[in-house]
Amino acid sequence: MTDAAATAGTGVTPSLVGRRVQVKVPATSANLGPGFDTLGLALAHYDELEVSVPDAPVLEIEVHGVGAGEVPLDASHLVVRAIAHTFERAGVPLPALKLVAHNRIPHGRGLGSSGAAIVAGVMAARGLLEGVVDFTPDDLLEIATELEGHPDNVAPALFGGLTIAWVTPEGPRHKKLMVHRGVSPLVLVPEHEMSTALARSLQPESVPHEDAVFNVSRSALLVAALIQSPELLLQATEDKLHQHYRAEAMPETDRLIRALRAAGHPAVVSGAGPSILVLASDPSERADAIALVEAAADTEWQALPLAVDFKGATVVNAER
């Protein structure tokens, strides 16, 4: 990241009062079966946020939609923490803030809601600091990953499409790929939540070598299947690294995924669960998968047929 004010020779941060930005961030599904902590897909289902800098020392937060009445409305709000962290990393004092959030991404369901909140904060800060600090794509991914812990949700939330994310000694990196037009994602969302921390605690420290080789082969195949050969998606979404270790914490998810896969649908746990992602090859396959889940489920599941988002998070400067 570069200090544009310093580069311009002033070295002084201009007042940000009056600045206003609008941010839009997609939901994401991480892992996609074998690609644990690595692969992620951006989905056309969005949280939206407006952030402005008022001329008074306040922190005002309004939340509409998902999370209204539940999430904190103070400095511990995840979007505010992400804005504060980005300003700190940029070396600029945090100004007063007013936030208005319109949330649609379900919380605690494996659809990247915390990653979306973090990316919303990072992008809002980037917009507020336009002309003061320039952020590279690697800067944005690094700052978001510092808060999220792993890059597989924040990479597609930031950049859209299918992302491969990996970690280097210099920080996280990503490669964005376009998904084959035939891929028709379907997300099935249960009423109950799942804690990512609990899901991660169920995994062993080490895995058998043959299971690691199994996942290396399926992950490589999955990239080819998603960008070029959707007919390989059922085999390409097999996994031995995380889903069966976590199954006891989400038995209905596990049972429905087995039923969907037995019927030929490439179904996987979305992120840490408990939602299910079906990487269908056409809209009629989505209808079949929805009918199967309606017939087999013991509880209510919401079906969200979603397009792939190819743009990633956007920020628009609304006013100066």
The string over 213-239, giving b where at least 16 C-beta atoms fall within 10 Å of a residue's C-beta and e elsewhere, is: ebbeebbebbbebbeeebeebbebbbb
Judged by CB under 6 A, does residue 272 bind ligand HSE? yes
CA distances from 95 to 15, 58, 123, 181, 283 (A): 9, 9, 16, 43, 47
Looking at residue 263, its amino acid is A
Judged by CB under 6 A, does residue 82 bind ligand HSE? no
Please check whether residue 17 is in contact with residue 55, taking contact to mean a CB–CB distance below 8 angstroms. Answer: yes
Among 22, 184, 196, 275, binds ligand HSE (CB under 6 A): 196
Using CA atoms, how far apart are residues 80 and 99, in angstroms rounded to an integer? 8
Map residues 132-151 to x or -, x wherever contact with ligand HSE holds by CB under 6 A.
Answer: ------------------x-
Which CB atom, from 30 or from 183, has the smaller least distance to ligand HSE? Answer: 30
Among 25, 30, 82, 306, binds ligand HSE (CB under 6 A): 30
What is the closest distance, in whole angstroms, from the C-beta atom of residue 40 to ligand HSE in the complex?
Answer: 8
What is the closest distance, in whole angstroms, from the C-beta atom of residue 37 to ligand HSE in the complex?
Answer: 4
Among 95, 271, 274, 312, binds ligand HSE (CB under 6 A): 271
Which CB atom, from 139 or from 239, has the smaller least distance to ligand HSE? Answer: 239
Among 145, 153, 219, 243, binds ligand HSE (CB under 6 A): 153
CA distances from 99 to 27, 121, 185 (A): 20, 10, 31
Judged by CB under 6 A, does residue 199 bind ligand HSE? yes
Judged by CB under 6 A, does residue 239 bind ligand HSE? no
What is the closest distance, in whole angstroms, from the C-beta atom of residue 151 to ligand HSE in the complex?
Answer: 9
305, burial (CB in 10 Å: exposed 0-12, middle 13-18, buried 19+): middle
The string over 255-282, giving b where at least 16 C-beta atoms fall within 10 Å of a residue's C-beta and e elsewhere, is: ebbebbbeeebbbbbbbbbbbbbbbbbe
Among 81, 200, 240, 255, binds ligand HSE (CB under 6 A): 200
Looking at residue 20, its amino acid is R
Which of helix, strand or coil describes residue 103? Answer: strand
Please check whether residue 233 is in contact with residue 33, taking contact to mean a CB–CB distance below 8 angstroms. Answer: no
Considering only the stretches 167-175, 192-200, 278-286, 296-304, report the one whose residues sit in contact with ligand HSE under the rule CB under 6 A. 192-200
Residue ranges at the known binding site for ATP:
106-116
Q: Which stretches of the chain bind ligand HSE, using CB under 6 A?
A: 30-31, 36-37, 150, 152-153, 196, 199-200, 271-272
